[in-house]
Amino acid sequence: MFGYLQIDKAELKVREYEAYKSVYCGLCRQLGKDYSVFARFALSYDCTFYAITLMSLKRSCTGFRDGRCRFNPLKKCKYALCEDDCYSKAAALTVISVYYKLCDDINDSGFFRALAVRMIKPFFSHCRKKAAKRYPELDTIVRDMLDSQIELEKKDKPSIDEAAHPTACMLAEIMKAEGRNESEARVLYECGYHLGRWVYLMDAADDYEKDKKHGSFNPFMTIETDDLRGYMNALLSQSLARAYDAYNLLDIRDFKGILDNMMLFGFPLKQNSVLTGPQGGKK
């Protein structure tokens, strides 16, 4: 996806930061185990967020274990242990979303970039097939998102809300699937919807200048206002506010400090850096 769902490290406790890192490393290891060493390059903050949310909701983290980083054997790291399939699921989502992102990139980018993307696509195509076999519902959700996104971009001047809808729905459906009862599923849907919406709008805000130059699709292009930054900021803040309201209704115990940090500091921080940064704050 996009890498906006991050923590604000400065506001975390040290042990919370270590727990966060150990989930990150755990997910990386799972990617290597389930797919291949190269799949580890697809590791993203967004999917780490997904893994942490899953482990928190299912309360399945059983402890931590010392290990070593595969890429840097000199570096010691901790792995968060998990008793069910949270890691596999997050790993599956990682490769599935990367695969569909590549498909999208081939349509969108210029000749050379498209060529490069075509070279690595077969590898992820293989991974995605494997992931889709285990989690067909994840594959369907992400594919539907991309289909409706393509459909939408053909439309004449879609509204901001319409444009954000496919991505919002994708995260909403992914989160909803974890609900243990009807009301929790509804809360997760709402939370996922607004987070997905926020991610999409963040990406659009981040790419605004670039898209303007290349004449690519961007939902903010049709907005006529004197203060575009202010407008983006209001939209993004509202999405976060609504996601946070829904999040508050969840019964979060494990990793609460980390998830609270993301909702209250990490995401707003990222939002600020994208809106105020000279070239956006993507990396």
Tell me which residues touch other proteins (CB under 8 A).
11, 159-162, 165, 168, 183, 186-187, 190, 193-194, 197, 234-235, 237-242, 244-246, 248-249, 264-265, 268-269, 272
Tell me, what DSSP letter sits at residue 264? I
> How many angstroms separate the CA atoms of 191 and 145, rounded?
17
Shortest Å, Cβ 244 to other proteins:
7
Shortest Å, Cβ 53 to other proteins:
18
Pick between residue 123 and residue 231 the one whose CB is nearest to other proteins.
231
Greatest pairwise CA separation for the chain in angstroms: 55
Pick between residue 190 and residue 203 the one whose CB is nearest to other proteins.
190
Instruction: Give the number of other CB atoms < 10 A from CB of residue 182.
Output: 8
Pick between residue 29 and residue 165 the one whose CB is nearest to other proteins.
165
Shortest Å, Cβ 236 to other proteins:
9
Could you tell me which residues come within 8 angstroms of residue 77 by beta carbon, excluding any fewer than 6 positions away? 21, 22, 25, 66, 67, 68, 69
Q: Measured between alpha carbons, how far is residue 269 from residues 8, 229, 255, 279 in Å? A: 7, 15, 20, 16
Q: Is 237 helix (H, G, I), strand (E, B) or coil?
A: helix
Shortest Å, Cβ 237 to other proteins:
5
Pick between residue 152 and residue 249 the one whose CB is nearest to other proteins.
249
Q: Is 101 exposed, middle or buried (0-12, 13-18, 19+ CB in 10 A)?
A: middle
Shortest Å, Cβ 138 to other proteins:
21
Shortest Å, Cβ 110 to other proteins:
31
Pick between residue 140 and residue 248 the one whose CB is nearest to other proteins.
248
Q: What are phi and psi of 109, to 5 degrees?
A: -100, 170
Shortest Å, Cβ 245 to other proteins:
6
> How many angstroms separate the CA atoms of 205 and 163, rounded?
13
Q: 64: part of which helix (H) or strand (E)?
A: strand 61-68
Pick between residue 22 and residue 271 the one whose CB is nearest to other proteins.
271
Pick between residue 82 and residue 240 the one whose CB is nearest to other proteins.
240
